[in-house]
Amino acid sequence: MSPAERMRWLLRGLGQVLITAGVVVLLFCLYELKVTNLYTDGQQKTLDNDLSRAWAATPTSAQLAPYDEGAGIARIYLPSLGKDQVHVVVEGVSREDLKKGPGHLPSSDRPGAVGNVVVSGHRTTYGAPFNRLDELHDGDAIVVETRGYFFTYRVTNMAVVEPTAVEVTYRVPGQLGATPTRRLLTLTTCNPKYSARTRLIVTAVLDEPLAKGPGVVPTALRGRG
């Protein structure tokens, strides 16, 4: 085999390897961005139905019962980002929990309570519930629906922090052990998109607690129908 033929053979082999690698990468991206979304969509539908049934059957006195790991505990609405931006929040932030939807940090407070409600969610895979979190602005509403209430929070701050910055999840962010006086909501997700290099943190403060009842709709959700 002449040097020229050997070079052509090597280039042909390299081309085939690159094509194969490209197909593998394409299939991986398809799985990450499409297949995982289909899985989460199915989980969200099941959780939403389960949540509606549980709320219809559970007496008000049972609202403070411990949350079950992996179960739906609330709905979260991001109305400024579109009418479709509503997700069932599950209890827990393990890998398996977050495949179902945004997860409530078990050590954080309950929706509406004095302290800090912390909810984490994926930004690119598994339904990407917090994909557009960076589009929120100060004053935008975030509504958390529980069995008995709609809690409307208003965005007060957005920040990018290191993954190790656990102080954002404290009951008083940044002050471990301090006694809380405000009712906060903290949303966390990976940053930037398609990377876990840092974390995007959205902080909001409770603006309007609204007891649920026939025809009762919080101001921020009116016109969604």
pLDDT at 10: 62
Q: pTM of the full predicted structure?
A: 0.84
**pLDDT band at 8; cut points 50, 70, 90:** low
pLDDT at residue 21 greater than cutoff 90: no
* Residue 65's pLDDT band (cuts 50, 70, 90): confident
- Identify whether the C-beta of residue 216 lies closer than 8 Å to the C-beta of residue 225: no
What is the reported pLDDT for 62?
54
Q: Which domains does the chain have, with CATH numbers?
A: 10-58+71-221 (2.40.260.10)
Does residue 192 have a cis bond before it (omega within 30 degrees)?
yes
Q: Which residue has the higher pLDDT, 145 or 7?
A: 145
Alpha-carbon gap, residue 72 to 138, rounded angstroms: 28
pLDDT band at 57 (very low <50, low <70, confident <90, very high): confident
